């Protein structure tokens, strides 16, 4: 019996490595490479293991002998989505819970992101140390789902932002500069992929982080070669953060129009801007827009109970009577205008949703919806795609992905329709490829391939 098992294990291992050695060629698709270049018609993309080895036009690229050839005529290929601001382990059973940051809860969330075509996710703060174990195990090949990047716990404010029910070991809340420096040193020992700060009074409800605290945290993080992203709302705070060397503003500026001073500073420092319209819109859209609440893709991402609840009178009244709702709508409108201004001015825009932070910010579904919101704000579909691929990779310094070029990770989506003509076509997933492996999407748009 033992011998038999051993033989089986060996056979399985042999088969897996033979598989990994076999090159894969996807032939015939329209290819969007994530750089913003015009799509390439009738493309060929060659994969070996988890990497892309060649990209070109069919007939002009040498196809390795013995390769598995996949016919993708009529399809469009684009890089996998990279969410530079999401979360894991904060919501369980449709609710925010202080005990939700568990392995049992996080692993299915990573799978959900991946099945919607989000191949990498930066969990931007509120991570327990368990996150590092999961990340490191995943990097050794042990855990499926979207590639997890971590901004550790993050630095908040005592009894203030972030006002979410999390366990004490999910966020630092330093009182002083010295405590903030000590917290950054502690997090540095875990080798986070980024650090998160919260600089906001949450519609006037709480005291904000003091500038000397965020300056000290940013300086200490940079001494440890850690990039820093900040939750932000106000233009004045954004300016102070950019001047202090923040690497990314992790939400829209929503109190007033951005100005030339901010644009100049962000361009000079190469600061990234991550709008996350989902944060604002998700506070009211399910109560107010039946087309969104009845989106056929929604039940694949969130429970039917929750969708039903959002369409019920109690929830609708709660949203309608919340004194913050008009403020949030105004904030969203300002944020949308600011994105267009910053994009036109040439500021680096990356992509995020804050998915996973609250039940209404929905992993996987939210990323496709956010792309639509970017286009509604005035970005071209191609620009929206570039923010969610090349630019997000750069924002989180995941330089091995984000574009479809030789040497990059084989992370891409095969779509039944072209998202540069209608951004909603990112939802037309036929297959998701992640680290060179083919994954079935959560809903397949795979009607039979169109005739050649
Ligand atoms: Zn967040």
Q: What kind and span of H or E run contains 287?
A: helix 285-288
Mean pLDDT of 248-252: 98
For ligand 1, the distance from its centroid to the CA atom of residue 114, given in whole angstroms, is 19
From the CA of 90, how far away is ligand 1's center (Å)?
Answer: 10
pLDDT score recorded for residue 12: 37
Give the distance (Å) from ligand 1 centre to CA of residue 172: 15
Count how many Cα atoms sit within 13 Å of the Cα of residue 262 in the half-sphere of its side chain.
25
Cα distance between residue 436 and residue 402, in whole Å: 14
- Whether 228 and 218 have beta carbons less than 8 Å apart is answered as yes
Residue-wise pLDDT tens digits, 41-54: 999 999 999 999 99
**Ligand 1 centre and the CA of 183: distance in Å?**
19
- Please tell me the distance between residue 159's alpha carbon and the centre of ligand 1 in angstroms: 17
What pLDDT shows up at residue 441? Answer: 87
**What confidence tens digit (pLDDT) does each residue in 146-201 have?**
999 999 999 999 999 998 888 889 999 999 999 999 999 999 999 999 999 999 99
Looking at the predicted structure, is the pLDDT value of residue 5 above 80? no
- Residue 445's pLDDT is 73
> Is the pLDDT assigned to residue 451 strictly greater than 90?
no
Separation of 371 CA from ligand 1 center, angstroms? Answer: 17
Output the CA torsion sign for 385, 390, 395, 400: positive
Check residue 388 and give its pLDDT. 98
Do β-strands 118-123 and 147-150 pair in parallel, antiparallel, or remain unpaired? parallel
What's the pLDDT score for residue 17? 41
Q: Please tell me the distance between residue 196's alpha carbon and the centre of ligand 1 in angstroms.
A: 9
Q: Is 407 buried (19+), middle (13-18) or exposed (0-12) by CB count in 10 A?
A: exposed
Helix (H) / strand (E) element for 26: namely strand 24-27
Three-class secondary structure of residue 339 per DSSP = helix
- Strand 228-231 with 248-249, pairing: parallel
Q: How far is the CA of 80 from the centre of ligand 1 (A)?
A: 21
Could you report the per-residue pLDDT of 156-169, keeping only the tens digit for each?
Answer: 999 999 988 888 89
pLDDT band per the 50, 70, 90 thresholds, residue 2? very low
* pTM (two decimals): 0.94
CA distance 372 to 81: 14
Q: How far is the CA of 66 from the centre of ligand 1 (A)?
A: 46
Residues 336-362, mean pLDDT to the nearest whole number: 98
| pLDDT recorded at residue 400 | 98
Alpha carbon of 87 to ligand 1 centroid (Å)? 6
Residue 337 Cα, ligand 1 centroid: separation in angstroms?
21
Q: From the CA of 357, how far away is ligand 1's center (Å)? A: 6
The pLDDT of residue 8: 38
Distance 106 CA to ligand 1 centre (A): 16
Q: Give the whole-number percent of the chain exceeding pLDDT 90.
A: 91
pLDDT of residue 95: 95
Q: How far is the CA of 79 from the centre of ligand 1 (A)?
A: 23
Distance 39 CA to ligand 1 centre (A): 33
The yes-or-no verdict on residue 443 having pLDDT over 90 is no
Q: What is the pLDDT of residues 297-320, one digit of tens each?
A: 999 999 999 999 999 999 999 999
State in Å: Cα 157 to ligand 1 middle: 15
Predicted local distance difference test score (pLDDT) of residue 20: 64
- Please spell the DSSP secondary structure of 233-248, one letter per residue: --HHHHHHHHHTT-SE
Ligand 1 centroid to residue 91 C-alpha, Å: 13
Distance 126 CA to ligand 1 centre (A): 8
The mean pLDDT of 212-232, rounded to a whole number, is 98
Q: Measured between alpha carbons, how far is 241 from 211 in angstroms, rounded to an integer?
A: 8
pLDDT digits (tens, 9 = 90+) for 378-416: 999 999 999 999 999 999 999 999 999 999 999 999 999
Q: How far is the CA of 182 from the centre of ligand 1 (A)?
A: 23
Tell me how crowded residue 81 is: count the other CB atoms within 10 A of its CB: 29
**Burial per residue of 6-16, b for 16 or more beta-carbon CB atoms within 10 angstroms, e otherwise:** eeeeeeeeeee
Band of pLDDT at residue 16, cut at 50, 70 and 90? very low
Q: Average the pLDDT over 351-375 and give the result.
A: 98
Q: How far does the centroid of ligand 1 lie from the alpha carbon of residue 125, in Å? A: 7
Does residue 125 carry a pLDDT above 80?
yes
Ligand 1 centre distance from Cα of residue 85 (Å): 6
The answer to whether 384 touches 367, Cβ cutoff 8 Å, is no
């Amino acid at each position: 019996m033992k011998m038999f098992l051993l033989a089986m294990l060996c056979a399985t291992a042999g088969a897996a490595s033979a598989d990994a050695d076999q090159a894969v060629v996807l032939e015939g698709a329209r290819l969007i490479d994530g750089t913003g270049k015009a799509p390439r018609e009738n493309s060929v993309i060659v994969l070996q293991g988890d990497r892309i080895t060649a990209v070109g036009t069919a007939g002009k690229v040498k196809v390795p002998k013995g390769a598995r050839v996949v016919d993708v005529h009529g399809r469009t290929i684009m890089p996998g989505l990279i969410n530079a601001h999401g979360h894991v382990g904060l919501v369980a059973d449709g609710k925010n819970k202080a005990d939700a940051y568990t392995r049992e809860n996080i692993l299915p969330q990573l799978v959900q992101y991946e099945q919607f075509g989000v191949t990498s996710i930066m969990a931007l703060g509120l991570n327990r140390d368990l996150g590092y174990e999961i990340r490191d195990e995943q990097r050794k090949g042990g855990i499926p789902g979207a590639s997890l990047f971590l901004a550790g716990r993050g630095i908040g404010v005592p009894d203030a932002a972030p006002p979410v029910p999390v366990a004490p070991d999910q966020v630092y809340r330093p009182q002083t500069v010295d405590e903030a420096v000590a917290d950054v040193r502690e997090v540095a020992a875990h080798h986070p992929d980024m650090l998160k700060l919260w600089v906001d009074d949450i519609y006037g409800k709480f005291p904000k982080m003091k500038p000397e605290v965020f300056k000290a945290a940013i300086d200490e993080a940079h001494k440890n070669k850690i990039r820093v992203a900040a939750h932000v709302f106000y233009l004045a705070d954004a300016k102070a953060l950019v001047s202090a060397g923040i690497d990314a503003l992790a939400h829209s500026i929503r109190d007033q129009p951005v100005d030339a001073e901010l644009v100049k500073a962000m361009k000079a420092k190469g600061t990234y801007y991550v709008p996350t319209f989902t944060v604002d819109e998700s506070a009211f859209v399910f109560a107010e827009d039946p087309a969104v609440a009845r989106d056929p893709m929604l039940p694949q991402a969130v429970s039917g109970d929750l969708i039903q609840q959002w369409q019920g009178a109690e929830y609708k009244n709660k949203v309608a009577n919340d004194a913050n709702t008009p403020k949030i709508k105004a904030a969203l409108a300002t944020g949308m205008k600011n994105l267009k201004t910053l994009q036109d001015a040439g500021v680096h825009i990356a992509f995020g949703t804050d998915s996973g932070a609250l039940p209404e910010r929905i992993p996987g579904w939210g990323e496709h919806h956010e792309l639509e919101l970017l286009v509604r704000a005035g970005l071209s579909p191609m620009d929206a795609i570039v923010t969610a691929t090349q630019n997000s990779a750069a924002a989180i310094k995941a330089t091995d992905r984000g574009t479809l070029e030789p040497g990059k990770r084989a992370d891409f989506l095969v779509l039944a329709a072209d998202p540069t003509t209608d951004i909603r076509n990112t939802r037309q997933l036929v297959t998701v490829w992640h680290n060179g492996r083919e994954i079935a999407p959560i809903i397949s748009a795979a009607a039979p391939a169109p005739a050649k």
